[in-house]
Structure 1
Amino acid sequence: MARTICTLGMFIIDSFDFRDEEGNITGRTQEEAIGGGGTYCVVGARIWLSSTDIGMIIDRGTDFPPHIQHKLDSFGSYMWLFRDRTDGSPTLRALNAYKGESREFKYMSSKIHVYPKDFEGTLLARPKYLHMCTIAERATRVLQEIREVEGWHPVLVYEPFEGACTPEEYPKLAAIMSDIDILSPNAEEALRMLEIPLPVTTTKVEEAATAFIKAGVKMCVIIRCAGLGAYALETGASDRGFWTPAFWAEKDIAKIVDVTGAGNSFLGGLSAGLAKSGGDVKEAVLYASVSASFTIEQSGLPTVIQNSSPPGKELWNGDDPYRRLEDLRSRTNG
């Protein structure tokens, strides 16, 4: 049976270097952590679905730390398809170098991209929802490989790669827009691509979403706006989009520890919500916002435990995702 959601995103082991504005090493430390947009996406989906419904390929080197393996296994071993690097090369690693409030990100080892053909012949073949976060050029190859698989028509959830969200790159994205089911940049990326000046406002976000729909997106555009929430506009909605608040509002700022991976997790939750609601975008965005809320409460991925009452019920960061879902739904409907 096909998985519900798979990602073409990468798995990364993140390391950290913290310095002050003058470049001096600070006393702040952080151990190696799990990273990668694909990882955060599938864990965002895992909050709502069984590990047997989700999938991701991880290229694992001989340097794979035991504590990271243990963390991944806690979400369910069925989620992960490991490709062990037999040539002795390491797992993909990246350095997050902080200087004061600024952050520089750079890869420390070679990348291996995942494509749809890598799923064929495995338990991850032909998922119903397919997530990717990449540049338009690579997305073009992904689309071609999808077309080559007879009878497979996944819902494509496309998150433009941050570094390619520029006016110069936008024509390449526009050229494949009609093959994208769901387009979801964050607000600053959306405005930058369309040369709409900052700062972010609700009016500008709505303008950007309308422009993307007119460019040919098949199903909907969802622009992620951090504390403002998310704005969704469906094809054929005649500019009647809707806003969904972020689960953690400005008054809850103490709950927000690290926003890394929040957007990826949002899209995993969105895909799960679409699957559970039969394609109801408004309902799915609620799931997405709750998934993001668990991601930003700590550095790294959230923690899942099996609750003893009732038996088998899962708690994430000690809380019930469905309690948060009902909370957010009541705020939205109120």
Structure 2
Amino acid sequence: MPARQFVTLGMFIIDQFSFQDDNGSPTGQSLAPQIGGGGTYASIGARIWLPAHELGMIVDQGHDFPEDIETTLRSYGDEMWWFRRQPGLETTRALNFYRGDHRGFQYLTPRVRITPRDLTDTPLAFPATLHFICSPSRAAVIASEIKEISSWAPITIYEPIPDRCVPEELPALVDVLPSINILSPNAEEALSLLSIPLPPTKNTIEEACAKFLELGVGPEGNGWVIIRSGSMGAYAASKHRVGGWVDAFWNDAAQVVDVTGAGNAFLGGLAAGFVLTKGDVFKALFYASVSASYTIQQQGLPTCSRSEAGEWNGDSPWARLRELEERHAKRSTKDD
């Protein structure tokens, strides 16, 4: 069986929710448990563009794994999930809690980390692109394991976790950067790591990108930095290509329901776009932006249509891609 184009080491999580006002009193709002996890959203971001058999993710199933959730996952394509039974454990769950405008996150069960070695005896072994979400020190362990697996040199997409995007983690990040092909924090994370004052602006985001490149991203410094910047879009650069911006797909705030998982889906879409554009990272950003656009339209995962048109949320990703590319071309012409 050919190697998968995209595999994530991100975890599957069942998300639970709590809503409080600024004083800590329940608001009365409720939300049923949902499919979550950065790996899940990244996988769906890639699935928007690529067939299920070209993707992969390990899903750890505890003794309490809900049958309806497995059915939902399989609706996106059986081949993309490698269900790993964990009968002695609970399924990983986390609480997303909202207090006024503040959002928090905490695990309710022990995490089961996924490593490159976990892929070797599965159909997900030796993918062309490997995505992971973790601390810089954990990323170094993953990079070391990859090197130990002979004849495998995947494109690595590294997404640092938010609570480790602090200045104290910068030395550990610098150590692992030569093993990372694509580094992609969001704007707040990038500025925090580099001790650049918040809130982000386009100028400070471009400054952060340049500083990361100076630190040496990728083998021989030939990697990319992509800073995901919410409604501002995304900024990307490498030492061989001048930086550039790609817009967020939605410029209508009414279309933005919940941004949970948007950054993960962006990077899954980026990996798919990298395949479909034969390695053009900048062009792949358009696929990434479209993948994110489907994620933020509702709470939870976007829905896949089984129609021949391959629609998601009742709309064609290829039509959105054309629209975004045309919008970018017009803006570039105007700027010239």
Query: Is the 8 Å Cα contact of residues 274 and 284 (structure 2) preserved in structure 1?
Result: yes
Q: 2: CA distance between counterparts of 1:172 and 1:135?
A: 9
Per the TM alignment, residue 121 of structure 1 is displaced from its structure 2 partner at its CA by 1.4
Number of corresponding residues:
325
Per the TM alignment, residue 18 of structure 1 is displaced from its structure 2 partner at its CA by 1.4
Following superposition of structure 1 onto structure 2, how do residues 280-319 of structure 1 map, counting pairs within 5 Å?
A: 280-307=280-307, 312-319=308-315
**Structure 1 counterpart of 2:320:** 324
**Structure 2 counterpart of 1:95:** 95
Match of 1:236 among 230, 235, 240: 240
Query: Is the 8 Å Cα contact of residues 18 and 29 (structure 1) preserved in structure 2?
Result: yes
Q: 2: CA distance between counterparts of 1:24 and 1:142?
A: 42
**Structure 1 counterpart of 2:334:** none
The residue identity in structure 2 corresponding to 1:4 is Q
Matched, 1:150 2:182: no
Per the TM alignment, residue 69 of structure 1 is displaced from its structure 2 partner at its CA by 1.4
Following superposition of structure 1 onto structure 2, how do residues 35-54 of structure 1 map, counting pairs within 5 Å?
A: 35-54=36-55
Q: Secondary structure at the match of 1:147?
A: helix
Q: 1: CA distance between counterparts of 2:28 and 2:200?
A: 35
Query: Is the 8 Å Cα contact of residues 178 and 215 (structure 1) preserved in structure 2?
Result: no
**Structure 2 counterpart of 1:32:** 33
Q: 2: CA distance between counterparts of 1:241 and 1:103?
A: 32
Instruction: Show CA shifts across 1:124-171 (max 9, x none).
Output: 000000000101111111111111111100000001111111111111
Q: 2: CA distance between counterparts of 1:67 and 1:23?
A: 32
Q: 1: CA distance between counterparts of 2:161 and 2:269?
A: 19
The residue identity in structure 1 corresponding to 2:26 is I
Q: TM-score, normalised by structure 2?
A: 0.95
Instruction: Show CA shifts across 1:59-86 (max 9, x none).
Output: 1012112221122111111111011112
Per the TM alignment, residue 21 of structure 1 is displaced from its structure 2 partner at its CA by 2.2
Instruction: Show CA shifts across 1:213-267 (max 9, x none).
Output: 1111122110011010000102223xx2110000001xx1110000001000000
Query: Is the 8 Å Cα contact of residues 8 and 130 (structure 1) preserved in structure 2?
Result: yes
| Identity level (%) | 49
**Structure 1 counterpart of 2:333:** none
Q: 1: CA distance between counterparts of 2:26 and 2:166?
A: 34
**Structure 2, unpaired ranges of 5+:** 331-336
The residue identity in structure 1 corresponding to 2:93 is R
**Structure 1 counterpart of 2:119:** 119
Instruction: Show CA shifts across 1:297-333 (max 9, x none).
Output: 00010000112xxxx2311000000000000000011
The residue identity in structure 1 corresponding to 2:298 is Q
Per the TM alignment, residue 26 of structure 1 is displaced from its structure 2 partner at its CA by 2.2
Q: Secondary structure at the match of 1:169?
A: helix
Q: 2: CA distance between counterparts of 1:160 and 1:235?
A: 21
Query: Is the 8 Å Cα contact of residues 61 and 87 (structure 2) preserved in structure 1?
Result: no
Q: 2: CA distance between counterparts of 1:284 and 1:17?
A: 36
Q: 1: CA distance between counterparts of 2:186 and 2:234?
A: 9
Per the TM alignment, residue 27 of structure 1 is displaced from its structure 2 partner at its CA by 2.4
The residue identity in structure 2 corresponding to 1:12 is I
Instruction: Show CA shifts across 1:264-320 (max 9, x none).
Output: 00000000000110111121000000000000000010000112xxxx231100000
Query: Is the 8 Å Cα contact of residues 217 and 235 (structure 1) preserved in structure 2?
Result: no
Q: Secondary structure at the match of 1:279?
A: coil
Q: 2: CA distance between counterparts of 1:205 and 1:99?
A: 28
